[in-house]
Amino acid sequence: MSVATPKADPLGKAIGAAFDVEAVRAEFPGLHQEVHGRPLVYLDNAATTQKPRAVIRAVERFYLRDTSNIHRGVHALAERATALYEGARRTVARFIGSPSPDQVVFTRGTTESINLAARSFVRPRLAPGDEVVVTWMEHHANIVPWQIVCGEAKAAVRPVAIDDRGALDLSALEEALDRGGERVRMVALGHVSNALGTVNPVREVVAMAHARGVPVLVDGAQAVPHMPVDVTELGCDFYAFSSHKAFGPGGVGVLWGRAEHLAGMPPMLGGGDMIRSVSFEGTTFADPPSRFEAGTPNIEGAAGFAAALDFLSGLDREAVAVHEEALLAHASEELARIPGVRLVGTAPERAAIVSFTVEGIHPHDVGTILDGRGVAIRAGHHCAQPVMQRFGLPATARASFALYNTHGEVEALAAAVRHAQEVFGV
């Protein structure tokens, strides 16, 4: 399977209906190295992505030229750092279709974003007997925060079933909403499953929940790198995602929220830069988003994140999607034809993630053997233990693709899996 290569600009912008993967790969220096004496085949993108030169330059430029704190100084460096940080907020807002940059809260990542929504939005509304509805395919970051606040309030987390393909059972969701009635305080679900690649029908879920007066939080960590996201079109109440999975630096994430929700939420952390006034008689808090950004933030990370989103915006996202769909189809076909390999998660709508097992070999051993061939995958429960329980597995091997991966790397993956079988004699 091959994809035609168009003429491209120096940043690897795809032109027309095809995608110049080699031009894009040239922008990612981390891809051009050897591991154990073999060319790196990086297929662990659902865990974190490699970084383009534009991101590396943005972070370096901050350290070389603009290092200072934000919002507090009147000198030139402080003003430049503030402009970078608030400019990054505007870039994020444009990228996800937010009506206002003030609805973009910077956090340390998706996990902190979900904790913020759980602690500051849902916890004050929880009473004994209330419920938060999630799905069986959630990452732990979209389960544990709800368990904590529900435990405090003597409320409950209610999981909704997924079928044998790894697709959400919408009838089960509707039943859970109707059964819970006014006790349901939130529906929280992933846009894309990190363990299975399932793309959930977010608009349909939002419509179903809103018809019953229930807000919806979407974990978009795996969606933002793979597809256009417009929070206004989705209609959700909160959308959480991370920089490091979208080609940006680590330690930066976003909680987008409806303005009316953010305005009514108390801060999760107290400290500097999130206040309007402080005295020993009491403190008044700043308006969102500053209210939720106590202390010195990851300024350089925000600048790098903005550079990553600008890089993505410079690509033909439709052509990227076609390329990744082809990679997914190719990998699924190559792995499925290997005797003893079982694909886990075959929902009709999937992002470029393939989870699999190899009969007679533990996934950790599969990952180790593949690493020896220069092929980087993830092996384990992928912080999604309920998914493993649903399929009766301790773990899976997971190959996750990004826009810079190639069909040659798919073939290297399949060859490495066959090599693992030879090593273990299965």
Q: Are strands 131-135 and 184-190 parallel, antiparallel or unpaired?
A: parallel
Q: Which two tokens stand for residue 128?
A: 């004994």
**Both tokens of residue 395?**
């773990």
- Look up residue 10 and give its two tokens: 């120096």
Quick one: which of 39, 144, 31, 46 has its CA closest to 397?
A: 46
Alpha carbons 41 and 21: distance in angstroms, whole number: 14
Q: Give me the catalytic one of 40, 383, 393, 415.
A: 383
Q: Is 236 a catalytic residue?
A: no
Percent helix, strand, coil in the chain, to 5, is 45, 20, 40
153-181 burial code (b ≥16 CB/10 A, e <16): bebbbbbbebeeebbbeeebbbebbeebe
DSSP 165: T
Residue 220 CB contacts under 8 Å (≥ 6 apart), including other chains: 110, 190, 191, 192, 229, 239, 240, 241
CA–CA separation, 341 and 379 (whole Å) = 15
Residues in the chain: 426
Burial of 146 (0-12, 13-18, 19+ CB in 10 A): buried
**Do 141 and 124 contact (CB within 8 A), yes or no?**
no
Nearest alpha carbon to residue 44 among 326, 292, 397, 351: 397
Helices assigned H by DSSP within 97-182: 110-116, 144-153, 170-180
**AA letter at 106:** F
Token code pair at residue 235: 């209609």
Helix (H) or strand (E) holding 356: strand 353-358
CA neighbor of 362 nearest in space, from 380, 374, 343: 380
Active site members: 383
